[in-house]
Structure 1
Amino acid sequence: MTNTITEQLTAAGRAIEHDSFSIIDAEAGPHAYTAEQWPLVRRMIHANADFEFNGLTVFHPEAMRAGLAAVLQGGTPVVADVEMICVGLSAPRLGHFGMSTHHYINDADVIEQAQAEGTTRAVQAMRKAHRAGRLDGAIVGIGNAPTALIEVIRLIREAGARPALVVGMPVGFVSAAESKDLLMAVEDVPWVAIRGRKGGSTLVVAAIHALLGLAEVEQRKAGR
């Protein structure tokens, strides 16, 4: 059966998307990803037509299981480093699972604290999310700010923060690759990451949309 919530709303749109996925499957050829992981990688390739993500994308062993469980339990928050991720995620798809998005980077107190401490807004935004109890059990999406990802990792290691899943894909030239290397060394919290400098909010959105689509498949199998 075709998904009804996490697919394109028109037959023409669905046909284009499905044709795109078929082309990606054909051109990508053999790969090392599991049947559960490939739909996420494929959707990331679809988001920007870059086949290098077939290989650059790395998964914690529990990433897909944890991500699907977080979606299916309902009401799981998505905490993002920037507003772009929150805007990019489909409200109807999130709403189907009772999920909400949160970002704090533009909050006045976050800006004030960053200026006072000589840190970035992204660092203070993650600290605020942790103080508010938003990180625990959340899907955390980092697509823009390496400092946000580094801070989330610190909060995991030093403050006991326990997100359900970290989608760590900051793009850039200063600390982007290094922040993802740090994430890939984390064992206690599941993650999905991209090696090197590539990344971006679009890819975080694509990864989360892939999780939502897989979760709807599981719902339909269960007859829910």
Structure 2
Amino acid sequence: MTTAPPTRRYDYETDGSQIYVDSFATIRAESDLSRVPADAEKVAVRMIHACGQTDLTRDLVIHPGLVSAARTALEAGAPILTDANMVASGVTRARLPRENDVMCLLRDPRVPDLARAWSTTRSAAAVSLWADRMEGAVVAFGNAPTALFHLLEMLRDGAPRPAAIIGTPVGFIGAAESKQALIDLAADEPGLDVPYLVVTGRRGGSAMAASALNALAQERE
């Protein structure tokens, strides 16, 4: 085991706290945060921090009631339901206000049979298993457009309504369309105005979804 650091050959910041402070200062200097609701500014900053893309606010669409709805739900002990284990793994448990459950059911043994029977993806089939926990939950999609589409179809069929939906599935097939369908849900189905956060277009991913959840779980940056 080595007991000494390597020879210092590069000029770089090594103070973790200073890196953190400087990173968020850079984000605020380079991003147009006027595009997001005032109470969602820290959510946007944390998402930019996760992806390194200061132009992310150009594609962020945040419902005006998203932050208050999600925080109220989490403070009441609501679970977080996700489409991907990477999203669940990215949630910082210490930030959760009530030791909230964070669940991804992709590995549930019922999922493969459901996916085959319904001719859909396992990610979509897993969402059906959320039904008994979905009322008032905070749900997040960081990977699978089919899972987000499936949730919207469940809601249209009268499934329990979550408190908030984070929609950041990534990809080239169905990602942009699924997120637009979430934005359009209230207009298409009066009475289904569920607060949401969406990264429009093709970009997204588990890191973005997890960073949004972490910011919503606790206002501290």
Aligned-residue Cα RMSD (Å) equals 1.6
| More divergent stretch after superposition (173-182 vs 26-35) | 26-35
Query: Residue 70 of structure 1 is aligned with which of 43, 68, 73?
Result: 73
Indicate if the aligned counterparts of 2:112 and 2:122 stay in contact, CA closer than 8 A: yes
| More divergent stretch after superposition (14-23 vs 202-211) | 14-23
Which residue number in structure 2 is paired with residue 92 of structure 1? 94
Which residue number in structure 1 is paired with residue 209 of structure 2? 204
Which residue number in structure 2 is paired with residue 190 of structure 1? 195
Gap runs ≥5 in structure 1:
1-11, 218-224
Matched residue of 1:58: which SS?
strand
Q: Write the distance in 1 (CA, Å) between the matches of 2:184 and 2:177.
A: 11
Q: Number of residue pairs matched? A: 201
Which residue number in structure 2 is paired with residue 158 of structure 1? 157
Gap runs ≥5 in structure 2:
1-14, 187-192
Which residue number in structure 1 is paired with residue 148 of structure 2? 149
State the TM-score, normalized to the length of structure 1.
0.84
Shift of 1:50: 0.6
Q: 1:62 to 1:198 in 2, by over 3 A?
A: same
Matched residue of 2:173: which SS?
coil
Amino acid paired to 2:211: A
Q: Write the distance in 1 (CA, Å) between the matches of 2:16 and 2:133.
A: 35
Indicate if the aligned counterparts of 1:105 and 1:111 stay in contact, CA closer than 8 A: no
Which residue number in structure 2 is paired with residue 105 of structure 1? 106
What is the identity percentage for the equivalent residue pairs of Structure 1 and Structure 2? Answer: 35
Question: After superposition, where does 1:1-224 map in structure 2 within 5 Å?
Answer: 12-29=15-32, 31-73=34-76, 75-94=77-96, 96-130=97-131, 133-187=132-186, 188-214=193-219
Shift of 1:70: 1.2
Shift of 1:213: 2.4
Structure 1: 4+ residue segments shifted above 6 A: none
Shift of 1:18: 2.2
Q: Write the distance in 1 (CA, Å) between the matches of 2:80 and 2:16.
A: 26
Matched residue of 1:79: which SS?
strand
Indicate if the aligned counterparts of 1:78 and 1:138 stay in contact, CA closer than 8 A: yes
Matched residue of 1:76: which SS?
coil
Q: 1:121 to 1:210 in 2, by over 3 A?
A: same
Indicate if the aligned counterparts of 2:33 and 2:57 stay in contact, CA closer than 8 A: no
